[in-house]
Amino acid sequence: MRRVVVTGLGLVTPLGADVETAWSNILAGKSGAGPITRFDASDQKCRIACEVKPADHEYGFDANKRVDHKVQRQVDPFIVYGIDAAGQAIEDAGLEDMDEAARLRAGCSIGSGIGGLPGIEKESLILAEKGPGRVSPHFVHGRLINLISGQVSIKYGLMGPNHAVVTACSTGAHSIGDAARMIRDDDADIMLAGGAEATICPIGIAGFAQARALSTAFNDQPEKASRPYDVARDGFVMGEGAGVVVLEEYEHAKARGAKIYAEVIGYGLSGDAYHVTAPHPEGSGAFRSMQMALRKAGVGPADIDYINAHGTSTPLGDELELGAVRRLFGDEIARVSMSSTKSAIGHLLGGAGAVESIFCILAMRDQIAPPTLNLDNPSEGCVGVDLVPHTARKREIRAVLNNSFGFGGTNASLVMKRPD
Amino acid sequence: MSDTAERVQKIVVEHLGVESEKVTQEASFIDDLGADSLDIVELVMAFEEEFGVEIPDDAAEKITTVGDATKYIEEHKG
């Protein structure tokens, strides 16, 4: 069977717009949260977010590095983040100069949970105020979810499968899992896979706040707001950014002497079939997703050392996920480390699963588990589980499990291991 | 350069991300400045906003160079 490995990484996050900066800030226990600066949020219930920082910030994002001026003007920020993260991953993998034969076998699977919400909001206001003749001719293709994959394929000449997953907050994980299957099934040798999101805009914040999903109790202490598993948690903090990996068929990567970060060995998917926003009360969808990923990987709980949890800091979700992990892992739960990096960068929605897969890969590379910030008083269900509170911990990490769950009751789990 | 020509040039530079030296009156939006048909639709909208003129579709279709745009605006602005 064709094996799939990871040979390139790219990140745009609230804690850094390149892989090493973001990762070192995560390990240092920094928080990317702060008051919303993109717009006047004074009338919002939630007035905080984890924004990607501007170019002049210590770890800010400079769109001009990899995205043409004209494209920047025409598309929503989630596409800009996605193009940049994909570019980083291609450069990291040393694939900037693929010949035509290679490019015919290279594709994209970069999705988003929501797509170009800020642009939809802005152009809707223009439509209402100035009429249809003032709506941008770039409105549609500048907001569409599959336009990261579209733009990246045009920029780098990638003529293989061109795909884009839309599964809310599990988009990033499904994107990687689907792309890995495309390589396994011989549709491609190389896939750019991941997700991006940028919905920190008035209607994005208002919409999630009205769904009672966002934290509203920590507007005056933004860095304390994302606190997965803590008794005082009251909702997630919206993040933004992108994560993209280069997936490559193992023999292909070996033949060109590529640096191999990890192997994707298991992918599980399931549906809760329960409720549009609330997770299944017994965590059954999460359980089945993880169970399938382990089964496909041919490993058991004893082989997994680190879990990057979905752990969004919502009152319901965190403990249901933990309960599902507990049931699946049995006694092995005492040996595993499980943390939520959303405590540091917030919830990147459609980008989360990809960004967190990259953190999993780096955790294996550096043999260190990233921390769960703000875990001052773990809730009852956390007893006996190492949630890596406050500070990163060195430990053996042979294989990892990454969970992502989304509105609609959609679940995805990935299992990756260190390269042989 | 006339005031209109200068403002047209500024809009083209901003929208297409090209160097201002390239935006001569003779420059073709598509052949010289890398625009596509949708970029021209957007530019026409920007000209309409900037100069308070209306450029109907049949007139917009005939605007292929920077000079065409400048000439149309000078002839039609209030």
pLDDT in tens, A161-193: 999 999 999 999 999 999 999 999 999 999 999
The alpha carbon of residue B51 is apart from the nearest alpha carbon of chain A, in Å, by: 14
**Cβ-defined contact of B17 to A69 (cutoff 8 Å):** yes
The catalytic residue among A163, A174, A280, A310 is A310
Look at residue A201 in the predicted model and tell me its pLDDT.
Answer: 98
Q: B-side interface with A, Cβ within 8 Å?
A: 15-17, 34, 38-39, 41-42, 45, 49
| CA–CA gap between residue A406 and residue A167 (Å, rounded) | 7
Look at residue A270 in the predicted model and tell me its pLDDT.
Answer: 98
Active-site residue flag, A50: no
Asked if pLDDT for residue A80 goes beyond 90, the answer is: yes
Asked if pLDDT for residue B77 goes beyond 90, the answer is: no
Chain B CB contacts of A73 below 8 Å: 15, 17
The alpha carbon of residue B2 is apart from the nearest alpha carbon of chain A, in Å, by: 26
Active-site residue flag, A141: no
Report how far apart, in Å, the C-alpha atoms of A160 and of each of A106, A107, A153, A314, A396 are. 5, 4, 9, 39, 37
The alpha carbon of residue B48 is apart from the nearest alpha carbon of chain A, in Å, by: 10
| CA–CA gap between residue A385 and residue A283 (Å, rounded) | 17
pTM of the model: 0.96
**Cβ-defined contact of B17 to A134 (cutoff 8 Å):** no
Torsion of CA A216, A219, A224, A225, to 10 degrees: 20
pLDDT band at B1 (very low <50, low <70, confident <90, very high): confident
3-state secondary structure chain A: CCCEEEEEEEEEECCECCHHHHHHHHHCCCCCCEECCCCCCCCCCCCEEECCCCCCCCCCCCHHHCCCHHHHHHCCHHHHHHHHHHHHHHHHHCCCCCCHHHHHCEEEEEECCCCCHHHHHHHHHHHHHHCHHHCCCCCCCCCCCCHHHHHHHHHHCCCCCEECCCCHHHHHHHHHHHHHHHHHCCCCCEEEEEEEECCCCHHHHHHHHHCCCECCCCCCCHHHHCCCCECCCCCECEECEEEEEEEEEHHHHHHCCCCCCEEEEEEEEEECCCCCCCCCCCCHHHHHHHHHHHHHHCCCHHHCCEEECCCCCCHHHHHHHHHHHHHHHHHHHHCCEEECCHHHHCECHHHHHHHHHHHHHHHHHHCEECCECCCCCECHHHCCCECCECCCEECCCCEEEEEEEECCCEEEEEEEECCC
**Number of Cβ pairs < 8 A linking chain A and chain B:** 20
Active-site residue flag, A169: yes
Residue A127 sits at the chain B interface (C-beta within 8 Å): no
Asked if pLDDT for residue A265 goes beyond 80, the answer is: yes
Euclidean distance between the first and the last CA atom of chain B, given in angstroms as a whole number: 20
**Closest among B68, B66, B71 to B24, alpha carbons compared:** B66
Chain A CB contacts of B15 below 8 Å: 70, 73
| CA–CA gap between residue A268 and residue A180 (Å, rounded) | 12
**Cβ-defined contact of B45 to A134 (cutoff 8 Å):** yes
Asked if pLDDT for residue B78 goes beyond 80, the answer is: no
Q: Note the pLDDT tens digit of each residue in A293-335.
A: 999 999 999 999 999 999 999 999 999 999 999 999 999 999 9
Averaged pLDDT of chain A: 97
Name the amino acid, one letter, at B52. G
